[in-house]
């Protein structure tokens, strides 16, 4: 990344002098500072424009210990005094070494380049600072969020009683799903007054939730937070494409019953983090109906298929879910955070409702006041719905779906290209837009050395800033991963990264051989 020249001298931003009121500067956003606000925003926008325009690599390769030293001299009790100084510091401490997701060689995690309308929405959301927990704080913001929830419910096919709420991400959405599944089951226990008021019943230690071995780790975290523990999540075997094996699911349900455990829910994943695999939703739905289990679909990643005109059928069965997670900040190309949790029966959201007299009294609910806090784990929430609203109104759902389709096509094209490379071992054909593979030279290499080689490759790519790739483990072995959410990335980009992967891998193995006593040259050096 090239460092840009020092900014040109700008007109100084003047804030209203409020010395008579005892304040030195008025730097709160208000009508008096409207001109200063405009000048400051233009300065910030220009800084971002310059940095993005000058990006040559997705990352500079700086190490944590190298960056940490820059912060030692920062005294937060002493202000810098003017915007130019502050922006200069932000550029030095943040932007110069930021990880830039819009770069075509960033292929690591589920971070997407974001739509221009969504950025413009953030420019509106931040200064107005709407909090959407209650109607009297958000007004139109309430209905914009609700309309988007209704739109998503309709796209999923949850039916006329469906509802939901925006969340911080898939982890919070999955927590809500398991909480509601747990409380819904416990509400039906004879003699139990309910978890909200009386806590968990005696049999809570036997409650079990089933999910595939490739499901998201937030399920274990949620189970712990809900007082059920990690062991409450039962891993279900996957097929060769890392999709939940529905026959294995049925066997696990039956085993739970034999062992006096209580299965209460199944989590099906529509887009696993590592493989993009989509569980057989229709088969899972049939088993959930048969055994009266809550069905949650974690579509945080694959939810973008809801906007696809070509691949929406890949989510067949999601309409049978009791609850669904969708992350718009993944496959809908929105800024973090922008996510939603949806339910088939709006009454189920009552499990998270608490009426506070000062905020959302029960009388308001009975009058029909739409206080969104009534169905949210959070109280204060940003108006994150506006960015998706503006994206849909300017671009349309079909164009968003086409972007996601494009990166899925890219993954399949890249898979064919990597399969033809004798030094790249691809784990499995992609379903969505992730590719799991590893460097594996034709010459035999011990498994532990091969693991160390692939771990080194990832660090080397990051250190040079050539590319940012992800890593995972598969059957105990170290692999690399391309996560493709950038329509600007091409097969040629990925082939170039693969060449650098092989370069760094070969270099590591050469050095390893030179320092291993079994190697003749190394033996001579040691003698």
Tell me the mean pLDDT in the region 498-505: 97
Domain boundary among 395, 421, 449: 395
Confidence of residue 1 (pLDDT cuts 50, 70, 90): very low
> What's the mean per-residue pLDDT of the chain?
93
pLDDT in tens, 170-203: 999 999 999 999 999 999 999 999 999 999 999 9
Same domain, 321 and 301: yes
Q: Tokens for 308?
A: 């696809």
Residue 22 has pLDDT above 80, yes or no: no
**What pLDDT was estimated at residue 335?**
98
Same domain, 198 and 217: yes
Number of Cβ within 10 Å of residue 444's Cβ equals 7
Position 18 in a domain: no
Same domain, 446 and 503: yes
Residue 524 has pLDDT above 50, yes or no: no
Position 305 in a domain: yes
Position 225 in a domain: yes
Q: How many helices (H) and strands (E) does the chain have?
A: 18, 12
Q: What is the pTM of this model?
A: 0.92
Q: Tokens for 307?
A: 């906007």
Strands (E), 4-158: 106-107
Position 438 in a domain: yes
- Tokens 């994150």 — which residue? 384
Q: Which of 256, 247, 161, 248 has the alpha carbon at shortest distance from 206?
A: 256
Residue 40 has pLDDT above 70, yes or no: yes
Confidence of residue 513 (pLDDT cuts 50, 70, 90): confident
**What pLDDT was estimated at residue 262?**
97
Position 25 in a domain: no
Domain count, the chain: 2
Residue 525 has pLDDT above 50, yes or no: no
d(Cα 237, Cα 249) in Å, to the nearest integer?
Answer: 8
Same domain, 435 and 349: no
Task: Give the SS3 label for residue 366.
Answer: helix
Position 351 in a domain: yes
Sign of CA pseudo-dihedral 399, 403, 404, 410: positive
**What pLDDT was estimated at residue 519?**
47
| C-alpha pair distances (Å), 341 with each of 172, 326, 329, 355, 362 | 8, 7, 13, 21, 23
pLDDT in tens, 298-328: 999 999 999 999 999 999 999 999 999 999 9
* Cβ-contact 297, 82 below 8 angstroms: no
Domain boundary among 365, 395, 425: 395
- Tokens 């694959």 — which residue? 302
Task: Give the SS3 label for residue 78.
Answer: coil
Same domain, 314 and 371: yes
CATH code at position 264: 3.40.640.10
pLDDT in tens, 52-70: 999 999 999 999 999 999 9
Beta-bridge mates of residue 106: 468
Instruction: Find the radius of gyration of the CA atoms of the chain.
Output: 26
Residue 10 has pLDDT above 90, yes or no: no
**What pLDDT was estimated at residue 514?**
78
Same domain, 268 and 328: yes
**What pLDDT was estimated at residue 527?**
23
Residue percentage of the chain with pLDDT more than 90: 91
| C-alpha pair distances (Å), 314 with each of 157, 286, 301, 408 | 14, 17, 13, 12
| C-alpha pair distances (Å), 107 with each of 104, 151, 254, 469, 498 | 7, 30, 41, 5, 12
Position 495 in a domain: yes
Tell me the mean pLDDT in the region 443-450: 95
Same domain, 264 and 181: yes
Tell me the mean pLDDT in the region 398-414: 98
* Cβ-contact 42, 82 below 8 angstroms: no
CATH code at position 505: 3.90.1150.170
Same domain, 438 and 386: no
Is omega for the bond preceding 248 within 30 degrees of 0, making it cis?
Answer: no
**What pLDDT was estimated at residue 392?**
98
Same domain, 403 and 343: no
d(Cα 95, Cα 7) in Å, to the nearest integer?
Answer: 14
d(Cα 526, Cα 371) in Å, to the nearest integer?
Answer: 74
Same domain, 418 and 386: no
Residue percentage of the chain with pLDDT more than 70: 93
**What pLDDT was estimated at residue 512?**
87
Same domain, 318 and 458: no
Per-residue 3-state assignment (H helix, E strand, C coil) for 311-340: CHHHHCCHHHCCEEEEEHHHHCCCCCCCEE
Position 34 in a domain: no
* Cβ-contact 179, 226 below 8 angstroms: yes
| C-alpha pair distances (Å), 399 with each of 225, 331, 339, 340, 389 | 39, 12, 19, 20, 14
d(Cα 477, Cα 175) in Å, to the nearest integer?
Answer: 30
Domain span at 442: 398-514
pLDDT in tens, 94-117: 999 999 999 999 999 999 999 999
Same domain, 304 and 345: yes
Tell me the mean pLDDT in the region 142-148: 98
Domain boundary among 364, 395, 426: 395
């Amino acid at each position: 990344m090239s460092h840009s020249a020092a900014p040109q001298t700008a007109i100084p931003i003047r804030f209203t002098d409020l010395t008579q009121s005892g304040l030195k500067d008025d730097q709160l956003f208000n009508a008096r500072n409207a001109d200063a606000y405009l000048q400051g925003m233009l300065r910030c926008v220009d800084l971002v424009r310059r940095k993005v325009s000058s990006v040559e690599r997705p990352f500079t390769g700086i190490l944590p210990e190298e960056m940490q030293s820059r912060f030692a001299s920062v005294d937060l009790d002493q202000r810098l005094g003017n915007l130019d100084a502050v922006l200069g510091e932000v550029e030095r401490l943040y932007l110069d070494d930021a990880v830039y997701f819009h770069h075509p060689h960033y292929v690591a995690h589920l971070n997407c380049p974001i739509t221009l309308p969504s950025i413009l929405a953030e420019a509106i959301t931040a200064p107005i600072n709407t909090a959407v927990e209650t109607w009297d704080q958000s007004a139109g913001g309430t209905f914009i969020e609700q309309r988007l929830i209704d739109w998503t419910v309709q796209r999923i096919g949850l039916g006329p009683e469906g509802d939901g709420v925006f969340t911080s991400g898939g982890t919070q959405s999955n927590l809500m799903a398991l909480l509601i599944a747990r409380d819904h089951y416990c509400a039906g226990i004879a003699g139990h007054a309910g978890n909200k008021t009386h806590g968990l019943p005696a049999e809570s230690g036997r409650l079990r939730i089933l999910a595939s071995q490739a499901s998201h780790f937030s399920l274990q975290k949620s189970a712990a937070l809900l007082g059920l523990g990690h062991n409450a999540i039962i891993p279900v075997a996957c097929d060769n494409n890392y999709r939940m094996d529905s026959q294995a699911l049925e066997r696990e349900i039956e085993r739970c019953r034999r062992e006096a455990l209580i299965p209460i829910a199944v989590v099906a994943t529509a887009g696993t983090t590592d493989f993009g695999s989509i569980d057989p939703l229709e088969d899972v739905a049939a088993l959930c109906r048969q055994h009266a289990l809550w069905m949650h679909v974690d579509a945080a990643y694959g939810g973008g298929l809801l906007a696809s005109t070509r691949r929406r059928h890949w989510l067949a069965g999601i309409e049978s879910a009791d609850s669904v997670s969708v992350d718009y900040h993944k496959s809908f190309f929105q800024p973090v955070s922008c996510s939603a949790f949806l339910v088939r029966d709006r009454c189920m959201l009552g499990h998270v409702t608490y009426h506070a007299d000062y905020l959302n009294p029960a009388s308001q609910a009975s009058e029909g006041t739409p206080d969104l806090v009534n169905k949210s784990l959070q109280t204060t929430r940003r108006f994150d719905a506006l960015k998706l609203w503006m994206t849909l109104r300017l671009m349309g759902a079909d164009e968003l779906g086409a972007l996601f389709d494009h990166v899925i096509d890219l993954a399949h094209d890249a898979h064919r290209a990597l399969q033809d490379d004798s030094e790249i071992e691809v784990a499995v054909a992609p379903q969505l837009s992730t590719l799991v593979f590893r460097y594996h030279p034709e010459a035999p290499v011990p498994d532990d050395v091969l693991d160390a080689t692939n771990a080194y490759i990832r660090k080397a790519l990051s250190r040079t800033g050539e590319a940012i790739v992800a890593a995972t483990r598969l059957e105990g072995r170290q692999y690399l991963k391309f996560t493709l959410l950038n329509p600007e990335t091409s097969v040629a980009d990925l082939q170039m990264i693969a060449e650098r992967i092989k370069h760094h891998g070969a270099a590591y193995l050469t050095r390893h051989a030179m320092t291993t006593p079994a190697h003749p040259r190394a033996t001579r050096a040691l003698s």
